[in-house]
Structures are given as C-alpha cells and as structure tokens.
Amino acid sequence: MPELPEVETIRRDLERGLLRKTLERVEIIDSTVIRQPIPSFTRALRGQTITAVDRRGKALTLQLGSGAYLVVQVMMTGQMVLNGAPDASTRGIFHFKEGGHVLYNDQRKFGQLRVVKDPSEIKYFRILGPEPFAEAFSPAYIAASLKKTTRPIKNVLMDHTFVAGIGNIYASEILFHSRINPERPAHRIKQVEIPALLAHTHTILQEAIEYRGSSMRNYRDGAGVKGTFNTRIKVYAREGEACAVCQTPIRRIVQAGRSTFYCRRCQR
C-alpha cells in the first residue's frame, strides 16, 4: 500500500475537500472491504458531518459529528478519490450533501473500512508504535529497541509495532541513505549510526510527502493523481541499475517474503 507519505498526502487532500461536509448517502458497490454489517456502517455515516481528517501510521481516521470515526485502511491498492469517475475497482462511493463525492477504489480488496466509536477498537491502533516524527521515536527508544533483537534491520524498520508508517519502499530508501546493509542484525547497529538513521528517516519521509508520494503501480492521491517521489528513489525496484553513488549494480534480495533493494558496496 501506500506508506506514510502516500497516506499523509491523501489525508491532506481529503481534509481540504471534505472538512465540514455532510455525508448524504453511502453507495456500496462491493461490500468485501466493509468490515462490519453494511446496515450499521451506512446508518452510522448517513447525515454525519466530517469534523476532522487524521492519520495514524497508514490508517486514515475521519471523525464524524457523532464523535465516531470512519477508519480507512487502504492497504495495498486502496484509493480515496475526490469527485473521480467510478471504474472497475470502485468498491464504494460517499456522496455529500453539498455536492461532490469520494470514491473508494481498491483493486485487490485488501482494504478495510469501518465506523468505530474509538479507533482503539481496531487492533492495528492498539499495537502501533510511535509516529516517525513524534518525540517518542527518539534515539534512546531506537537504541533500546534495536538492541533487543537479532532480526535484520530492514524487517525491524517495517515492523509497525516499532515505528508506524514505514513500508517496503521507504525501508529500502532509508537504509540506502543511512549506508546500512538491510541484512545487518538490528542489535549490531552501532550507537553512532542511530542519529543518522533517524535523520534519514525524517528527511526521506518528509521529502516523499513534498513529492506527494511514490506511485509504483496503484497509488493515487486524493485527486486521483500519481505521486512523483519515484524520480527521487535510489534503490527500490531498481535491480541491476547503477548505484547513484558508486555505480555498483543495485541488488534485489528477499527478506521476510518481501523484496529488498540495496547497494552492497555503499551499505555495510
């Protein structure tokens, strides 16, 4: 799915487009993605005003006038598109009283939509680690967490109980900029490397947000437009291409069932 930068881009688009608008009608085209009984889902939404649009990790929370939340997890291929034209991947349409609508598109239907009184009803929110930009994601926290495990650092970066919002693309990119080999056991990350790892986590995610995310295949922003961070990606999906720093061909390996890309010369 979209990782943190992509979900944050969608959040900002939805905030701009939906804040203080009132849901008039919810049209369900494929109920697979609605993870609760449809009648209670639509009943909880109808007539509700959107009072806040927030993000936690890779999940969107739209607060309603009732105090409840519409939680949207777009997973791998979900999209929230303002005023888009429905297509074969459209699973639901939210119509607004003031005019306009939002499509929920999701090719693979892994996405999850539900209305809850409190996000903590959903396990994801209960186990989620700190946001990468939060104070809690500190050098001391990172050092203490990495010391506890021998798992490869790449797997740890992608573990959302360690830090929220980092997925397969940005884990590879952050490690490239930090010059750390993705297979290095987390407990072997040196104390002196941690400030740089944290700094690159911040700069990569921040820059990706500025570029409105990366579009490999399916990701689109709230206007249905691709992100442009692809042009800034150094290693992800660049197997065989020359490393931007040393010209060594980028390698692809598989870790925890996911592709990892790195430069074996630059990253130790």
Is residue 75 a contact point for DNA (CB under 7 A)? yes
- For residue 58, indicate whether it is catalytic: yes
Is residue 228 a contact point for DNA (CB under 7 A)? no
Is residue 119 a contact point for DNA (CB under 7 A)? no
- For residue 2, indicate whether it is catalytic: yes
**Going along the chain, which residue ranges are E strands?**
23-28, 50-56, 59-64, 69-73, 78-82, 90-96, 101-106, 112-116, 251-255, 258-262
| Distance (Å, whole) CA 112 – CA 131 | 21
Is residue 110 a contact point for DNA (CB under 7 A)? yes
For the record, the structure tokens of 114 come out as 């539900």
Question: Residue 64: which of 10, 26, 35, 104 has the closest Cα?
Answer: 26
For the record, the structure tokens of 89 come out as 């991947």
For the record, the structure tokens of 187 come out as 């407990």
| Distance (Å, whole) CA 198 – CA 195 | 5
* Given the residues 12, 21, 109, 258, the one annotated as active site: 258
* Given the residues 3, 6, 173, 193, the one annotated as active site: 3
Question: Helices H, strands E: what count in the chain?
Answer: 7, 10
Is residue 123 a contact point for DNA (CB under 7 A)? yes
* Given the residues 11, 55, 58, 251, the one annotated as active site: 58
CB 111, CB 33: distance < 8 Å: yes
Q: What are the angstrom distances between the C-alpha of 67 and each of 27, 52, 190, 248, 249?
A: 22, 10, 45, 54, 53
- The residues near 144 (Cβ < 8 Å, ≥ 6 apart) are none
Is residue 251 a contact point for DNA (CB under 7 A)? no
Minimum Å gap between C-beta 169 and DNA is 5
Is residue 216 a contact point for DNA (CB under 7 A)? yes
Among 121, 247, 256, 265, binds DNA (CB under 7 A): 256
Binding mask 158-197 for DNA (x = CB under 7 A): x-x------xxx----------------------------
- For residue 210, indicate whether it is catalytic: no
Size of the site for DNA (CB under 7 A): 43
Q: Which is nearer to DNA, 23 or 33 (CB)?
A: 33
Minimum Å gap between C-beta 255 and DNA is 8
Is residue 155 a contact point for DNA (CB under 7 A)? yes
Is residue 231 a contact point for DNA (CB under 7 A)? no
Catalytic residues: 2-3, 58, 258
Positions that interact with DNA (CB under 7 A):
1-3, 6, 32, 57-59, 73, 75-76, 88-89, 107-110, 122-124, 127, 149-152, 155, 158, 160, 167-169, 213-219, 227, 256-259
